[in-house]
Chains A and B, each alone.
Chain A
Amino acid sequence: MESAAAGDDLVALIGRVAARDATAFATLYRSTHAVLYGVVARILTRGDASGEALQEAYVRIWEKAGEFDPAKGSPLAWMATIARNRALDEARRVRPASLEEMPEGFEPAAETVEPLAARARSERLAALLACLGNLDPDKREAVLLAYYRGFSRDALAERFGAPTATIKTWLRRSLLQLRDCLES
């Protein structure tokens, strides 16, 4: 696996991809495919579905490269959002993920803020992690399981032993709290 290119390099690559530079697209793929596969494979439990979602995500990245705005976020965050939306559309179309279907090696309990904190982080990531840190531990875990694993409300209800309606309230309050924190 090749290491991810630095953010500025990715901005330049996406600019060239927007100009229909196939070589730049190949470089962009090589630099980012492992992160994007990490995004989709954590949400979709079947390997073939993950491969399909990854391919669709890169086709969309090719199509939408001209819409990328570096002022609104990092290139990798933008690409990961596209990949994640493809995976979520697939997960919500087929059936929600559940604990029983978690792929091997993906322990939900490992999804905490701590492993992320050790990674190189952007300013925006640092701010978001700080705000996540203000949430109650259960609520933080619920948000992270939803984000990284594509957990539905029902799957979260099962995991936390709480009614689905309670989970919905948790998620909505947590999201508002995150927004207030990010804007403060």
Chain B
Amino acid sequence: MTLAPDDDLAAAEFALGTLDPGERATLAARRLREPELDVAIRAWEARLSPLGEATPPIAPPDDFLPAIEARIRGGVAPRASDLVAALQKRLSRWRAAAIGASGIAAALAIGIAAREAARPAAPNEFVAILQKSADSPAFVASINLAKGDLSVRPVAAPPQAGKSYELWLIAPKLGAPRSLGVIDAASVTRGPRLAAFDRETVEDATYAVTVEPEGGSPNGKPSGPPLFVGKLVPVDP
């Protein structure tokens, strides 16, 4: 294993849970594209996990099984396309989020489902839900690989006074993150920005959003850790 000692210690603290929120989000994004780091985190989790089985039980206040089964049924609906199934699964997880955000997400899912029904399969369409955690979606990125275009729709991105959100494409073979430009927190941002990347890179990349000075990063590099991250899922399997 070629992991730097500092990264191994960060992996250890990730498993223990003591990284601060920014460090934790950064490492969570990095492990998606750094297999050695992911292996290290899993190894530390495995070392500490026997403590988990020794946890003294507490009876939950409610029977959560029916709610869990409902979420699972939502996630494995047999006739839905992969995307709709994925969105249904996510929608059921978003219930803890603000009502407004859920409403927008539901409208989005219905919009995509209607679009699906209205046209034949197009294998070039992908979406990525950019989020901090499963119940806090912030942006949805839609990508058409045939045309090389990208549109980014805000779901529940908090406005940042005097700052801009910037979208990045992260792929191991490119080294540093590549900017895909500033994205709007209030309306859909569109643009053909993917022409510079080959299909495989676009499909496998991690997409991340950072907060930058107004107008975007001054030096072409992210100024801080990603706030929201996501990977593409195909609209049509």
* Partner-B contacts on A (CB < 8 A): 1, 4, 20, 22, 25-26, 29-30, 33-35, 37-39, 41-43, 47, 50-52, 54-56, 58-59, 62-63, 72-74, 76-81, 83-85, 88-93, 96, 115-116, 119, 121-122, 124-125, 127-128, 143-144, 146-148, 150-154, 156, 167-168, 171-172, 175-176, 178-179, 182
Chain B residues within 8 Å of A4, by CB? 57
Could you give, for residues 130-141 of chain B, a 1 whenever the CB lies within 8 Å of some chain A CB and a 0 otherwise?
001111100000
Verify A26–B65 contact, CB threshold 8 A: yes
Majority secondary structure of chain A interface residues (helix, strand, loop or mixed): helix
Majority secondary structure of chain B interface residues (helix, strand, loop or mixed): helix
The interface size bin for chain B is 35 or more
Given the known inter-chain contacts A59-B71, A147-B16, please indicate yes or no for A84 contacting B52, CB distance below 8 A: yes
Chain B residues within 8 Å of A77, by CB? 49-50, 52-53
A100 and B3 CA atoms in complex are apart in Å by 38
Q: Which residue of B lies closest to A95 (CB)?
A: B21
A122 and B21 CA atoms in complex are apart in Å by 32
Given the known inter-chain contacts A34-B60, A80-B55, A116-B54, please indicate yes or no for A73 contacting B49, CB distance below 8 A: yes
A33 and B68 CA atoms in complex are apart in Å by 12
Asked if B56 is at the interface (CB within 8 A of a chain A CB), the reply is: yes
Given the known inter-chain contacts A52-B96, A88-B17, please indicate yes or no for A128 contacting B58, CB distance below 8 A: no
Verify A74–B53 contact, CB threshold 8 A: yes
* Partner-A contacts on B (CB < 8 A): 9, 12-13, 16-21, 24, 44-62, 64-65, 67-69, 71-72, 75-76, 89, 93, 96, 132-136
Known: A51-B61, A73-B46. 8 other contacts (CB 8 A): A25-B69, A29-B65, A33-B64, A39-B55, A59-B93, A89-B133, A147-B16, A178-B47
Q: Which residue of A lies closest to B61 (CB)?
A: A47
Chain B residues within 8 Å of A62, by CB? 68, 72, 75
